[in-house]
Amino acid sequence: MSSPKSRVEGKPQHLCWGVEGLTFIEDEEGSEYIENLLIRAEKGDVAIYVAFISLMEVFYITAKGKDESEALKRVKLIQSLAVRVEESNENLNVRAGAIKAKNRISIADAYIAALCQEHNGILVHKDPEFEKISPTVKEFRLPYKIH
């Protein structure tokens, strides 16, 4: 799997993801790529941004499939990784609202796309829902999860 360029003009490449922390935790297809990104983030080669709402998604997906105790552990694990959790702010709200108004996507996906726009980042994902907005953000697709 090829990788986005490490540095642009001496600055770290910005990457964004939604619940791809679960890909890493559950050792799903594409987890090696996520692990490599985390190693690069620790070295300062890339900056990985995670939208605040993605932590809620990790929690509810895990709580539904397992329990709330495991869900909390996973959220804390993701927060301990070399990622930058971006909280809601006015600019992010406006961008997410504009994306949501023009596309049939979830609110969480609108925030993730807005975060990518805000940081001129590459969206690393395995969610076919993002195909609806692919011209809106640069993306790198991991293998989609088959349900």
Q: Looking at the chain, which runs of residues are DSSP E strands?
A: 7-8, 11-17, 46-51, 84-86, 122-125, 138-141
| pLDDT at site 8 | 44
Domains and CATH numbers, the chain: 12-141 (3.40.50.1010)
* Residues 80-128 pLDDT 10s: 999 999 999 999 999 999 999 999 999 999 999 999 999 999 999 988 8
